[in-house]
Amino acid sequence: MSEEEYVYYMKLLHDFCETHNSQNEFQIDKTDVQLGLMEVLKNDSMRDLMRRKISKNEVARLLHGFEFKKFHPELLATITFDPPLIPIDPNTRCYFEKAKVKFKGEQWVIHKNDLDPFPSNPHAHNYEKRWKLDLSNGDIYIKTDHVGKISKKDFEKLRVAISNKGIVLPELSD
């Protein structure tokens, strides 16, 4: 990629942001534009996008009506438990080693309008352990791999804590 391609691409992103932000209440940045283009063009390489020499008009056409808010989910709640709800089990395929060393408790984060509704909507993230918790049944996932389950007693405790924050939880399932 040449410096000329890079400069052209960065100016293209900048110009689109300025136009969008002058016409819309929701403000975006160059990263949002890049992610939007990658999504609509089904392309996961910034380098490939830069080499396309896409025009300003084409960017406007491709991203017309694009919902950039999905790149900025609204944080609903952060809930911390000490001691952790999920016991440390060396036979579970989770990243416990880091947790043993660095953390006494667990922090679960729930977003409104999460980009990925899997495994439930809403669901909880434990970013330190790379877990997603299904708030309908207590199943624990790393990406889409099922790696464990929270105990029924602790799951009920967690759901109460979350609902006390005013969050509407998914219906319980098996």
Instruction: Assess whether 158 and 77 both reside in one domain.
Output: yes
Domain range for 52: 3-70
Instruction: Assess whether 56 and 92 both reside in one domain.
Output: no
User: How many structural domains compose the chain?
Assistant: 2
Local confidence pLDDT in tens for the 174 residues of the chain? 678 888 888 899 999 999 999 999 999 999 899 889 988 988 767 777 777 788 999 999 999 999 998 888 888 878 787 777 765 554 444 332 222 212 236 778 887 767 778 888 888 888 777 888 899 999 999 888 899 898 888 888 888 888 888 888 899 997
In a domain, 169, yes or no: no
Instruction: Assess whether 61 and 82 both reside in one domain.
Output: no
Burial state string for 57-96 with b = 16 or more CB within 10 A and e = fewer than 16 = eebeeebeebebeeeebeebbebebeebbbeeeeeeebeb
Instruction: Assess whether 29 and 15 both reside in one domain.
Output: yes
Instruction: Assess whether 66 and 30 both reside in one domain.
Output: yes
In a domain, 32, yes or no: yes
CA atoms within 13 A on the CB side of 163: 12
In a domain, 168, yes or no: no
Instruction: Assess whether 159 and 77 both reside in one domain.
Output: yes
Instruction: Assess whether 80 and 144 both reside in one domain.
Output: yes
In a domain, 174, yes or no: no
Instruction: Assess whether 78 and 13 both reside in one domain.
Output: no
